[in-house]
Amino acid sequence: MVPASELRAGWVVRVEGVLYKVIAAEYHAGGGKMGGVAHVKLRNMKTGTFRERRFRADELVEQVEPARQNLQFLYTDGGVSYFMHPESFEQVAIENDRLGRAVSFLKEEMTVPVEFVEGEPTGIVFPDIVEARIAQTAPPVHTQGNDNVWKEARLENGLRVMVPPFIAPGELIRVGVESGLYVERAKAEKKR
């Protein structure tokens, strides 16, 4: 059990008997007679739905430590992603709702840590920001009253992202996995 003020993104917690993954956690210290509050965004590990909740700073929350195994991603079929243990060839199926937006960035034969809670696969450990290649871009769009110019781009994995006008097809960009937003142009690969 940990105080709610210490919750961090990426942790797995049990609230009212339900397992949640902490997506974001902010602690707001109280002033005077007001106690501190932890504002937490949670994703249900069974259904994939989101929930926001406020905890008193001193309220105890059960932290669950998931076991991790490095498994190889095989394929996605009908809303389920399949992973394989590289040594035993045992396969594990995880619903895409549990994986969140990370499922869009999985590539065949990619090795990822899969989290298990009480022997049940609950999700994968995926970086917050990934690099993706631009497949196609549209002409820049300038909206009235806005000084920013953005254009729509389609990534190789099919996702659509708004990018600055200087981004061209074939370029690598960095994208936030949970938000699906453009972060920056990827650094150029060093020539040997």
> At 179, is the pLDDT very low, low, confident or very high (cuts 50, 70, 90)?
confident
Query: How many structural domains compose the chain?
Result: 3
Tell me, yes or no, whether 92 lies in a domain: yes
Average pLDDT, the chain: 83
60 and 71 fall within a common domain: no
> Could you tell me if 140 and 160 are in contact, meaning their C-beta atoms sit under 8 angstroms apart?
no
Structure-token match 């940990």, residue found = 2
Reported as a single tens digit per residue, the pLDDT across 67-87 is 888 999 998 888 889 999 988
Tell whether the model's pLDDT for residue 192 goes beyond 60: no
pLDDT above 90: percentage of residues in the chain: 5
- Average pLDDT over every residue of 122-142: 81
How high is the pLDDT of residue 141? 64
Q: Which domain holds residue 97?
A: 67-124
> At 140, is the pLDDT very low, low, confident or very high (cuts 50, 70, 90)?
low
- Average pLDDT over every residue of 138-163: 78
> Domain of 81: which CATH number?
2.40.50.140
Residues 6+ apart with CB under 8 A from 142: 149
Residues 6+ apart with CB under 8 A from 3: 57, 58, 59, 60, 61
Tell whether the model's pLDDT for residue 144 goes beyond 70: no
Neighbour count for residue 153 (Cβ, 10 Å): 23
> How close are the terminal C-alpha atoms of the chain, in Å?
50
> Could you tell me if 165 and 150 are in contact, meaning their C-beta atoms sit under 8 angstroms apart?
yes
> Domain of 6: which CATH number?
2.30.30.30
Reported as a single tens digit per residue, the pLDDT across 24-79 is 888 888 776 777 888 999 888 777 788 899 888 888 888 888 888 899 999 888 88
76 and 119 fall within a common domain: yes
| E strands present in 65-128 | 67-77, 80-84, 91-95, 111-117, 120-124
- Average pLDDT over every residue of 117-144: 80
9 and 53 fall within a common domain: yes
Tell me, yes or no, whether 192 lies in a domain: no
Single residue among 28, 44, 64 that ends a domain in this structure: 64
80 and 48 fall within a common domain: no
